[in-house]
Amino acid sequence: MPTMGYLHNGHISLIEESKKRADITIVSIFVNPTQFAPTEDFKAYPRDIERDLRLLEQAGTDYLFYPSAVDIYPNNFQTYVDVTEIAKIIEGEFRPTHFKGVTTIVSILFNCVKPDLAFFGQKDAQQTSVIKRMIEDLKYEIEVVICPIIREADGLALSSRNVYLNPEEREKALILNESLKQAEDIILSGERNTVTIIKKINNNFIKEKSVHLNYIRIVNADTFKEADKLETGKDYYCLVAAKVGSTRLIDNRLIHIK
Ligand code: AMP
């Protein structure tokens, strides 16, 4: 399980799944500089290795891989892994260099750890698709296991970045999950036109001035291509990204069309 540390129950759920499925569970903690743009929160990203060690031990992790930045990126480092299409859309439009950093570090971690299974959270749905593409293209023999999103009792998806939210922002942040739930309800009531669905959800964000929406998209869950009309029998992700104060949050919901 690649992680950036500051562990929460979302990370722990991945470890639990690995303990069910694999003989040996290895977690990495590395706050990867190449996946942050210069304007983003690399320096401020929360870190607490002592707490993480306790949580990893409690969860029964076999090994922690905790490399230093120069172990991973020595001074003469020059090689990157870049997925050219699926990494450039949606989240990639807002964070153009992000997935290149992710695929580069994940491929280095795969080469160091040589796993048979790799566990990722649906929380970062596009990331799982980008990594699956990389695995196929670079012919890694690794099975990706996608684990469900773990949420707080009130629906906020767990994220290491939630610590940035002050109490008022924490309350406002519920708009992400609530909008996704509303999108699902609209779809369950029979609406199949994604423009209509997105327009309705967009209205929530227009009303909530303190939350700045980056995007709401509905994509085919396999291809990540945007859908105009939802088709029976297929799976779609409804994806949302928004800034609450200065904290950028993402969330999504997997919706099956019956
Ligand atoms: P991060 O430390 O944020 O890079 O996340 C490490 C892994 O944990 C990624 O595969 C994430 O998708 C996953 N993850 C993060 N938050 C959650 C969550 N709330 N539920 C499930 N998995 C999560």
The token duo for 98 is 């992000």
Q: Ligand 1 mean position to 205 CA, how many Å?
A: 25
**pLDDT, tens digit, 9 for 90 and up, residues 121-176:** 999 999 999 999 999 999 999 999 999 999 999 999 999 999 999 999 999 999 99
Residues 82 and 111 in one domain: yes
| Contact 149 CB / ligand 1 (< 6 Å) | yes
Biggest CA pair distance of the chain: 56
Distinct helix (H) and strand (E) counts, the chain: 9, 8
Alpha-carbon span 15 to 52, nearest angstrom: 13
**pLDDT, tens digit, 9 for 90 and up, residues 189-203:** 999 999 999 999 999
Q: What is the pLDDT of residue 95?
A: 98
Residue 13: give its domain's CATH number.
Answer: 3.40.50.620
| Annotated active-site residue in 11, 98, 212, 256 | 11
Show the low-confidence residues of the chain (pLDDT under 70).
Answer: none
Give strand pairing partners of 118: 144
Sign of the four-CA dihedral 163, 42, 240, 9: negative
Residues 137 and 34 in one domain: yes
* Ligand 1 atom closest to 14 (CA): 22
Classify residue 120: in a domain, yes or no: yes
DSSP state of 256: E
For atom 14 of ligand 1, which residue has the closest CA?
121
Give strand pairing partners of 146: 120
Does this model's pTM top 0.75? My answer is yes
Residues 98 and 121 in one domain: yes
Tell me if 206 sits within 8 A of 171, measured CB to CB.
Answer: no
Q: What is the pLDDT of residue 256?
A: 97
Residues 31 and 60 in one domain: yes
Sheet holding 2-3, edge to edge: 2-3, 26-29, 63-65
Classify residue 29: in a domain, yes or no: yes
Task: Judge whether 11 counts as a catalytic residue.
Answer: yes
Alpha-carbon span 200 to 182, nearest angstrom: 9
Helix (H, G, I), strand (E, B) or coil at 98: helix
Give strand pairing partners of 109: none
Which amino acid does the sequence have at 160?
S
Residue range of the domain that includes 129: 2-147
Q: How many domains does the chain have?
A: 2
